Amino acid sequence: MNPEQFHIDIQNIKGAIIDRVLVMRTANLGLIIIRERTTSGKFLPGSSSGAEMYSTKPFAMPYGAVKTNSLKNELRRNIDTGVVFTKGTNQLWILIKGGYKKYRELAGKDTSKVSLIWSGRMMRNLGILNAGENEATLGEKDADTKLLASYHNTMGAGKSKRLHKFLGFTDKEIQKMTDFVGDEVMKRLRVMDQ
């Protein structure tokens, strides 16, 4: 066999072993890893200290931005929790004395750990943006959740600019995906060998 034919044979084998299907399956494993880690309240290195716990520092927000009417009513009912006031051009604001943790608590949301989930939209919209024969790109599928993810990953969320880095992988997670690919390649080689 001449070197040119050998090169062609190697390229054909590579195409039979690593294809878009394997890339997509590996990317989906990556999505599962990110979602499971994040919803369990764990974040990547480089996250802010205390990123796993909700803030109890008082904060103010526009009253109209409160998520639901029932939450607005709950905040107004108890002056120890929230105080409504006007600011600037008579825009209504609310001071939430117990911080974001209290805000979530009153909304009936879990406060035991930061999971980056209010409605579930950000994790739902995390997906495969594109995939080729050798690589895939993961990220947020729409502009709103992309902006929200960038606050958590790079710019910092809230007034304290707290980072909750969740897009990416630890060495252990990369090893899990590498092992998955290795197992898949070995299965495909065994089929080709028969």
Q: pLDDT of 50-87, one tens digit each?
A: 899 999 999 888 888 888 888 888 887 776 777 777 77
The residue out of 69, 86, 111 marking a domain boundary is 111
As beta bridge partners, residue 139 has 127
- Computed over every residue of the chain, the mean pLDDT equals 87
pLDDT at residue number 2:
65
More confident residue, 88 or 145: 145
Residues 154 and 190 in one domain: yes
Residues 85 and 179 in one domain: no
In angstroms, rounded to a whole number, what is the distance separating the alpha carbons of residues 131 and 30?
A: 13
Residue 148 belongs to domain spanning: 18-53+113-194
Residue 12 lies in a domain: no
pLDDT tens track for 97-140 = 889 999 999 899 999 999 999 888 999 999 999 998 889 999 99
**With contact defined as beta carbons under 8 Å apart, do 43 and 173 qualify?**
no
pLDDT tens track for 22-54 = 999 999 999 999 999 999 999 999 999 989 999
Residues 45 and 66 in one domain: no
pLDDT at residue number 18:
75
Residue 13 lies in a domain: no
**Over 80: is that where the pLDDT of 144 sits?**
yes
**Over 90: is that where the pLDDT of 169 sits?**
yes
More confident residue, 1 or 167: 167
Residues 185 and 89 in one domain: no
Residues 136 and 188 in one domain: yes
pLDDT at residue number 13:
56
Q: In what order do the strands lie in the sheet with 82-87?
A: 59-62, 91-96, 82-87
Residue 82 lies in a domain: yes
What one-letter code names the amino acid at 95?
L
Banded pLDDT at 159 (limits 50, 70, 90):
confident
pLDDT at residue number 75:
81
> Structural domain tally of the chain?
2
Residues 69 and 151 in one domain: no
